[in-house]
Structure 1
Amino acid sequence: MQSNANRVNGNDRPIGRLSGPSAGANSQFDPWILWVTFRRNWLWAVPVGMVLASLAAFGVFKSFVPVYRASHLLEANSQWVVFKDVIPVIEDIAATEKPLFFNSIILDPVLADPALRKAPSLADPEYAEVSLRENLKVTSGGNRRHLVVSYEDSDGVAAATVCNAVVDSYLRQRDAFDQARMVKVERGLEPEIQRWQQEVEQRHHRVQKLSETLVGFAPGQKIAALENESNMTLMAELRSRISDLRVKIAIADASRVSAAGEAEFVPPVEAAVIPSAVVERHVPSEQEILNAINQDAKVSEALSRVAHYKAILLELEDSDIVRIRREYYEEMQGKRDEWTANLETLKAGARERVVAMLNERADAEYERQKIAAKARIESLKEGFEAQRKSKIEAARVEWQRELQKRYADEKKEYEALATQLDVLQKQYDDERSRLEQFGGASADLQLAIDEKQIAMDVLGKLKIRAAAIRTEKQQGGSVQTLAAATPPRIPLESVPTKKLIAVSGGAFCIPFLLGLLWELRVQRVTDSAAVDRSQSLAPVVGEIAQLPSGARNGRGRRIFEESVDALRANLFLSLDTKHTRSIAVVSSMSGEGKSSVASQLALSIAKATDQTVLLVDADLRYPDQHEIFGLEMGPGLSGVLSQTATLEEAVDTSLGSLLHVLPAGRLDRSPHRLISESSMRDFVDRALEKYSFVVIDTAPVLSASESLAVASSVDSTLLCVMRDVSRMDNVNRSMRRLDASGATIAGTVFSGVTAGQYAYRYGSYHYAIAGETDA
C-alpha cells in the first residue's frame, strides 16, 4: 500500500477561487459566495422574497401618511413714506434672516402655544422642538429680496397654521427689533438736538456782541471788501459739509446707543416640563415561582435523583438489555417513581417559602426603584434647568453674532465720518484764521455768523431726521408678508414610491440574506480550488462533469465520459498510484456522487485495460449499484462475508466479460459484524486473485463507520466531493477519520461540474467513429 504522506505532495498548487469561509478562518470575504447563494436558493428565495416584498409594500401602504407642505412668502420692505434710507433695508434676506428662524427666540413662542401643539408633528412634547426644526424649511424665493418659509405636516391645515405662526413670531421679533432700534435712535437724537440748540443760542449771543462792537458798520460790506468771491464760496461749502457730517455723526452716536441695548437682549426660553416618576411593584410570575422552587436545595436534589434514574432506564432501553436485567430495570423504575412522588411533595412544601421570599425581594426592589426614581427626577430637574440656561446663552450668542457684522460696518462708517469731519474742520479753521488775519473784527463777526449758521443747519437737520424717524417708523418693519401660507390640497407624495422601493427591495433580499448566512455557516465546497487550497485535504485528482439527464444530449454525455476517463488516467499515470489494483470510493455524506463515480470509474478502467473489473457495492445499508445496472440483488457481498455464498455465486456477470458486479446483498445482521478490516482484507485478496482490478462503492464515512474498514483494506481511496453539496467541515472530518484508520488517500474527486464549465476549463475534443453522428 502507498504511504499516507504521499497525498500531501500535491498541496502546493496555485490558489484558485474559493467561496466564502471555505478558505479558512483567515480568508477574506469572496463575492463568489453571492452567486453561489443565488444559484442554490433562488428556487425558494424568489417566491418567499416576493411574498415578503408584497407584505412589506402592503405594510408601507397601510402605514403611509401623506405629508403636506405649506409655504409663506416674505419680502424685504424697501418702501418709504417721505424719507428714504431711514428704515434699514435688508439686501440679501435669505442670507441674513435664515439663521434667525431657527433661533429659540422665534421657536419657543410657537412651542408654547397650546393650540399649535395639537398639530400631529408637535403632539409629542418630548420631540416637539426636534420635529419643528426638522419640518421647518427656509429657502430663497428666487432673488435676494424674497424668502420662502415652509413647513411639513401630515395635516395640511396644521402645516399652514404652524408655518404662519412661525412667520408671525419672526415678524413680531423683527418688528420689535426694528422699532426698538428706531425708538432708541430717536431718543439718542434728543440730547444732540438739545446740545445744538444751546450751541445755536451761544453763537447767537456772540454774534450780537460782535455786532454791538461794530455799530455803524455794515459787516457784510466789510467782509466783502476783504474777501473775494472764491473765498466766500469755499467757506460756504465747508460750512455745509461740516454741518452734514455732524448730523451723520450725531445719528451714528444715537445708533450706537441703541445697539448697546440690542446686545443686552435676553431671549425668552420656555420652561421644561419635568415628567412624573411612575414605579410599579413587580408581582412574581408563576414561572419565576417554579424556577425558584427548582433551585431549592431539597427539590434540586430530588430532581437530580429523578433524572439519574431516568437516564439509567433510558440507557437500559437503548442498549436492548432490559430483557436480560428485568429485575434491575423494575427496581430502577420503582426508585424513579418513588423520587418523583417525593419531588412533588417537596415542591408543594417549598412553594410557601419561595413565594414569601420573592415577595420580600419584590418589596425591596420596589423601595429601591422609588428612591432611584426620585433621585432621577431631581437630576432631571437640574439637567433641564441647566439646559434652559444653556439655550438662553446659545440664543444670546447667536443674536450677538448676527449683530456683530452690522456693528462692525457701522463702526467703520463712524470712523470714516469722524476722519472726514476732522479734515474739513481743519480746512475751515485754516481758512478762518486767514480771514481773521486780514479782516480783523469784521472777519470775526462774519465768522461768528457762519458758525451760528452751521449750528442752525446741524440743528435743523437733526430735527428733520427725528421727524423722518417718527414718520417712517409707522410704515412697518424691514420685512413684510407677500403671501401667507394656505392649507395645501395635494400632498408631497400621493404614493411613497421611494420608500416602497427601499422597503420592498429590502424585504425581497431577506431570504437571500438568510441563504447567504446559511452558506457562510455550512461552508459548502463550490469549486475544486477550495480543496486544493485546504492544507488538510488531499489534492483533486479529477473533476467529474454532471451526467446529463436528456437522452439526446450527446455532447454532455461525451464530456461526462471524458471527465471519468481523465480521472482514471490521472489515477493510473501518477507515480504514487500507478500500481493500484483495488480502489475504494468514499464520501462524507450520502448524495455526494460516490456511487456514480465508482460505477463509471469501473467501466472506464475495464474499457481502457480490456481486463475484467469487479465492481463491489459495499454500502450494505442503502445499496444502489444493482439499481444503476438493473441487476438482481442476489446474495451479494453480505452473503460472501457471512460465508453463505461463494464469490463466484454472488458475482453477477450478465454485463459482459469486462465488468462484473457484486451487489450488496440482503442485510440480515449489523454491518459492523460483517465488515471488519480482517474480513475485507481477505475478501479483497480473494477478489484480486480472479480480477485485475476491484472498485468498491462504500457507505458514507460519517454515517457508517464500517467504511473505514473498507478504505483501510484497499490500495487507494478516493474521497468524493459534490459541488455545492459537500460541506468543508464534513470533508475535513472524513479526511481525519480516514487518516486515523490507516487508509491511503489517493486524492479527491470533485463532482457536479457543469458540462459548459468543464469544456471551458479543459476543452472538448471529439473523436469520430465510422458510422457515428454527433447528437
Structure 2
Amino acid sequence: MAMEALPQFEEVNIQKYLEVIQRRWLPLVGIFSIAVTFGCLYAFSLKPSYKAEGSLMIKTNRSSSLTGLPDDIGRLEALNINDNPLETQVRVIGSNPVIDRTINTLSLKDNKGKTLSIPDLASQLKIEGIKGTDVVQISYKSSDPKLAAKIVNEVIKSYIDLNIQANQDEARTAKGVLVTEVPKAEEVVRRAESKLRVFKEQNKVIVLQQEATAAVDTISKLGNQISQAQAQLDDVKGRLQQLGSEAQLDSRQGVIASDLSQAPGVQKVLIQLQETESQLAIERTRFSPEHPTITSLEEKVVALKNLLKERTGQVAGTAQITQGSLQLGQLRQSLIADITRAQAERVGLERQIATLLRQQDAYIKRANNLPRLEQTQRELERKLQAAQTTYETLLKKRQEIDIAQNQKIPNARVISLALVPAKAEGPRKILFIVGGGAVGLFLGIIVAFSLDLIDRSVKTVKEAKEVLKYTVLGVIPTQSKNPKTHSSIAGIDRPIPKIIGRDIPYFPLGNAYQILQVNLKFLCSDKPLKSVVITSSVGKEGKSDVSANLAVTMAQAGRRVLLVDADMRNPIQHHIWGLNNTVGLSNVIVGQVSLDAVVQEVMPNLEVLTSGILPPNPVALLDSQRMATLISNFSKDYDLVIFDTPPLSGIADAAVLSTLTDGILLVVRPGVVDLNSANSAKEFLNQSGQKVLGIVINGVNIKNESNNYLPESKKRQIEEDLVSSSLTKFTKDH
C-alpha cells in the first residue's frame, strides 16, 4: 500500500505545480515574452565577429636541470626546461607580461582611443590546453579579422620571446651561483685528497684488499715455517740429549772441552806441563825431594799449571775444567764436535722460531687492524668521490649554462600561426534568443509561484474543502468568458447572472446543477428539504447565480419552487428575470401588499419574489414575526423555497434568516474568497450554531482540477445517472 501511495503523492504534487502555472499563466507568458524580446534585440544588435586561431606545442620531455646540486652546496632552479603541467603554461601565456607586450607591440587602442587595458584584451583572448596532448590553442574574436590574426600571432611571439628571455635570465643567475660554487667544490676535492693521502702515508696503506689477502697468506706460511722449525728443534734437542749421554758431558762442557782441545795456547801449555811432569817423575827417581832439580821442576810445574788455568779460564770462563778434559780422544772429540754442531743448530732453530713468531704476531696485528683501516679508507674515498662528482657536475653544468645562455631555444614550438579568418563566426543569435527564453521562463515561473504564494485566496476545490471542512454538494464549472454571454445594467458593478437553457447552453452547467439538486434531495431523505438559505463568505462568489439556476433546475424536475430575493442591500434577481422591483419582500413583510400581488411566475413551476424597496434595517425585517409567518406559509404552497441572501462578511441577514429555514448552502468561488474571509465565515457559522447543509464550489476551472475529478466522459455518465435517478424518484414521490 505504501509503495502504491508514493507515486500518487508525487503525481498530486506535480499537478499542484501545473495548476499554479495554469492560474498564473499571464505573468509567466508576459515575462517570458519580455525576456525573449530582449534576447532578440541584443542578438540582432551584435556585430559579426571573426575568430582567429593559432596553436603551440609545449615541450615537456626533459626532466633534468642544469644545476642539480646537493642541498649542502646549493640547489638551483631548472633552466631552459619546463616541468610544469600544461595548465600552468596556459596561465603563463595569458599572464600580464605577455598581454602587456602584445598591447604595446601592436599599439592596441580601445573605443575611446586610449591604450587597451590588459583585462580587456585578456577577456577576449581564449587560451586552452587540448586534453591528452601538449598542445595549447589560442584564439581571439574581433570584428576586424586582420586584427584578430595579428593579436593571436603576437601573443604567440611574445610568449616565446619572454620564455627565451626567462631561460637566459635563469642561465645567467645559475652561472653566477656556479662561479662561486666551483672554487668551493674544488677546495673540497683537494681537502679530501689530502686526507686520503695522509691516511695512507700514516698507515702505510697501498692496496688494503691485496694487503689483506697477502697478510692471510703470509700468516699461513709463517705458521707452516714455525711448525717445521719447531719439529727440527725437537729433533736437534733429541740428538743433543743422545750425544750428551754418550760423551758423558753435558752440552756446555762438551762445547768447552772441544774449544780447549782445539785452543793452540792451551794445548801448548798443556804439552809443556805434561813434559815437565814427566821429567819431574823421572828426576824424582834420581834425586831426593829437596834436590834443586826436583825443586826447580816442581816450581816449573806449578807455573805451567797456573798458566794453563789462566788460559783455560779465558776459554771456559768460570766452568770447572779438569786437566783430563783438555785432551780428548779422536772419538770423544768427534762426539763433542757433533754436540757442538747440534747445539749451534738448536740455538739457530730457537732464534728462527722466535723470529717467525714475532713476524706472525706483527702480521696478525696488521690483519686485525685492516677492517678499521679499510672502513676509514672507504669513508675518505666516498667523500673524495662525492666531492669529485660534485666538482665534475658543476664544471659540466657551467659548460651547459654557457651554451644555454647563448641559445635561443624556447620551451614551445609553433604548430600553426593564426590566419586571417575569411568568414564571420557569429554571433550565434539563436543562442541569445534561446537563452533569453530560458531566463524568461525561469523568471516567469518564479514570479508565478511568488504571486501564488502572496495570493491568500482559496484557489482550488481541494483548498476550499480543507479550509471550510463542509460537505461539497456541488461543483459548478466556470462559464465561458465570451463577452456576449455577459451583460450588465447601468448602476450595477457586476455582470448579470445567466440562466442555463435560456441564456447559456445547458451543458456543462446544467449537469452540475442537476448533481447539486440530487445531493440536496439525498441529504434530507428522511425529511424533505423545504427551505434553504444560499449565501457566501464575500461578494462576487456567485450566490445569486447558484440561487437562480438551482431554482430553475428544481422547477424543471417538477417541483414547485419559490425564489426569494432576500438580499435587501444589493438585490439582483429582478435584473436576472427582467422583473419590476417597485414592490417585493420588504413590502410584504411590512404589510403594504399581499404576497399574491408581488409573486411573479417566470417559468413553469418557478415563481420569484423580488426584494422590493430597500429598507434601512433589513435585519429587523428578516428577524420579525411576520417573516416567520411568511416562511411557514411558503412551505405550504411550495415544495422548496430558496432565499438569495447577502454575504456573511459583516452582515447577519443570512444567519438570521437561516434560523427560520432548514439550513444554509454556502457558495465558495476559488480565486475570489481569501483564506481569512473563509475562516471568518466558518468561525461565524460555528459560533452562531448555524446548520450548514454543505458548500457549492462555483466558478471551477475543470482543467485545473483534473486530478481531483474524474475524466469528462465519466463525469457525464455519473451526472446522467444521477439526473435519471432523481427524476425517477421524484415521479414516484408524486
Query: Given the two structures, how large is their TM-score scaled by the length of structure 1?
Result: 0.50
Partner Cα separation in structure 2 for residue 457 and residue 716 of structure 1: 113
Partner Cα separation in structure 2 for residue 681 and residue 43 of structure 1: 50
1:39 aligns with 2:22: yes
Q: Deviations over 1:370-403 (max 9, x none)?
A: xxxxxxxxxxxxxxxxxxxxxxxxxxxxxxxxxx
**1:528 pairs with 461, 466, 470, which one?**
461
Q: Name the counterpart of 1:343.
A: none
1:695–1:149 distance in 2 versus 1, CA, 3 Å: same
Secondary structure at 2:600 match in 1: coil
Q: Name the counterpart of 2:543.
A: 594
1:140 aligns with 2:129: yes
1:603–1:138 distance in 2 versus 1, CA, 3 Å: closer
Structure number, greater radius of gyration:
2
**1:483-502 matches, cutoff 5 A:** 493-495=426-428, 497-502=430-435
Q: Which runs of 5+ in 2 are unaligned?
A: 69-77, 197-386, 486-499, 725-734
Shift of 1:660: 1.8
**1:177 pairs with 170, 190, 204, which one?**
170
Q: What amino acid is aligned across from residue 46 of structure 1 in structure 2?
A: V
Q: Name the counterpart of 1:681.
A: 628
Q: Name the counterpart of 1:698.
A: 645
Moved more, 589-598 or 506-515: 506-515
Q: Deviations over 1:690-736 (max 9, x none)?
A: 32321111233338654443344422101111244443333223333
Contact kept in structure 1, 2:530 and 2:641, CA below 8 Å: yes
Moved more, 741-750 or 704-713: 704-713
Partner Cα separation in structure 1 for residue 113 and residue 390 of structure 2: 59
Q: Name the counterpart of 1:248.
A: none
Contact kept in structure 2, 1:637 and 1:662, CA below 8 Å: yes
**1:722 pairs with 665, 669, 682, which one?**
669
Q: Name the counterpart of 1:752.
A: 699
Secondary structure at 1:653 match in 2: strand
1:166–1:643 distance in 2 versus 1, CA, 3 Å: farther
Partner Cα separation in structure 2 for residue 49 and residue 456 of structure 1: 80
Q: Name the counterpart of 1:653.
A: 601
Q: What amino acid is aligned across from residue 715 of structure 2 in structure 1?
A: G
1:98–1:696 distance in 2 versus 1, CA, 3 Å: same
Contact kept in structure 2, 1:76 and 1:93, CA below 8 Å: no
**1:154-303 matches, cutoff 5 A:** 160=152, 168-181=161-174, 184-185=177-178, 188-189=181-182
Shift of 1:655: 2.0
Q: Name the counterpart of 1:293.
A: none
Q: Deviations over 1:571-593 (max 9, x none)?
A: 33336994542101112334323
Contact kept in structure 2, 1:614 and 1:691, CA below 8 Å: yes
Partner Cα separation in structure 2 for residue 123 and residue 170 of structure 1: 31
Contact kept in structure 2, 1:66 and 1:492, CA below 8 Å: yes
1:120–1:618 distance in 2 versus 1, CA, 3 Å: farther
1:174–1:736 distance in 2 versus 1, CA, 3 Å: farther
**1:637 pairs with 585, 590, 596, which one?**
585
**1:731 pairs with 678, 701, 714, which one?**
678
Partner Cα separation in structure 1 for residue 675 and residue 59 of structure 2: 74
**1:323-362 matches, cutoff 5 A:** none
**1:94 pairs with 86, 91, 103, which one?**
86
Partner Cα separation in structure 1 for residue 692 and residue 507 of structure 2: 28
Q: What amino acid is aligned across from residue 652 of structure 1 in structure 2?
A: Q
**1:474 pairs with 406, 409, 425, which one?**
406
Shift of 1:185: 5.0
Contact kept in structure 1, 2:49 and 2:141, CA below 8 Å: no
Contact kept in structure 2, 1:585 and 1:697, CA below 8 Å: yes
1:764 aligns with 2:712: no
1:49–1:140 distance in 2 versus 1, CA, 3 Å: closer
Q: What amino acid is aligned across from residue 136 of structure 2 in structure 1?
A: L
Q: Name the counterpart of 1:54.
A: 37
1:523–1:533 distance in 2 versus 1, CA, 3 Å: same
**1:75-114 matches, cutoff 5 A:** 75-76=58-59, 89-90=81-82, 94=86, 97-98=89-90, 107=96
Partner Cα separation in structure 2 for residue 484 and residue 179 of structure 1: 31
Partner Cα separation in structure 1 for residue 167 and residue 597 of structure 2: 112
Partner Cα separation in structure 1 for residue 442 and residue 626 of structure 2: 55
Q: Name the counterpart of 1:544.
A: 476
Q: What amino acid is aligned across from residue 660 of structure 1 in structure 2?
A: E
Q: What amino acid is aligned across from residue 518 of structure 1 in structure 2?
A: L
Q: Deviations over 1:667-702 (max 9, x none)?
A: 475656655565643432332243232111123333
Q: What amino acid is aligned across from residue 643 of structure 1 in structure 2?
A: G
1:517 aligns with 2:517: no
Contact kept in structure 2, 1:179 and 1:477, CA below 8 Å: no
Q: What amino acid is aligned across from residue 463 of structure 2 in structure 1?
A: A
1:557–1:475 distance in 2 versus 1, CA, 3 Å: same
Partner Cα separation in structure 2 for residue 582 and residue 529 of structure 1: 28
Q: Deviations over 1:206-265 (max 9, x none)?
A: xxxxxxxxxxxxxxxxxxxxxxxxxxxxxxxxxxxxxxxxxxxxxxxxxxxxxxxxxxxx
Shift of 1:747: 1.3
Secondary structure at 1:601 match in 2: helix
Secondary structure at 2:603 match in 1: coil
Q: What amino acid is aligned across from residue 645 of structure 1 in structure 2?
A: V
Q: What amino acid is aligned across from residue 474 of structure 2 in structure 1?
A: G
Partner Cα separation in structure 1 for residue 624 and residue 462 of structure 2: 33
Partner Cα separation in structure 2 for residue 670 and residue 180 of structure 1: 107
1:188–1:37 distance in 2 versus 1, CA, 3 Å: same
**1:329-408 matches, cutoff 5 A:** none
Q: Deviations over 1:270-312 (max 9, x none)?
A: xxxxxxxxxxxxxxxxxxxxxxxxxxxxxxxxxxxxxxxxxxx
Q: Which runs of 5+ in 1 are unaligned?
A: 1-13, 20-28, 204-454, 770-775
User: Quick one: higher RCO (CA 8 Å, sep 6+), 1 or 2?
Assistant: 1
Partner Cα separation in structure 1 for residue 17 and residue 397 of structure 2: 80
Shift of 1:622: 4.1
Partner Cα separation in structure 1 for residue 131 and residue 544 of structure 2: 79
Contact kept in structure 1, 2:476 and 2:509, CA below 8 Å: yes
Partner Cα separation in structure 1 for residue 461 and residue 652 of structure 2: 26
Partner Cα separation in structure 1 for residue 160 and residue 595 of structure 2: 103
Secondary structure at 1:764 match in 2: helix
Secondary structure at 2:567 match in 1: coil
Moved more, 636-645 or 89-98: 89-98
Query: Given the two structures, how large is their TM-score scaled by the length of structure 2?
Result: 0.52
Contact kept in structure 1, 2:568 and 2:615, CA below 8 Å: no
Partner Cα separation in structure 2 for residue 532 and residue 73 of structure 1: 72
Shift of 1:749: 1.0
Contact kept in structure 1, 2:31 and 2:440, CA below 8 Å: no
Shift of 1:651: 0.6
Q: What amino acid is aligned across from residue 541 of structure 1 in structure 2?
A: L
1:177–1:645 distance in 2 versus 1, CA, 3 Å: farther
Contact kept in structure 2, 1:66 and 1:493, CA below 8 Å: yes
**1:625 pairs with 547, 551, 573, which one?**
573
Partner Cα separation in structure 1 for residue 113 and residue 456 of structure 2: 52
Contact kept in structure 2, 1:120 and 1:153, CA below 8 Å: no
Shift of 1:181: 3.4
Q: Name the counterpart of 1:566.
A: 515
Partner Cα separation in structure 2 for residue 18 and residue 528 of structure 1: 17
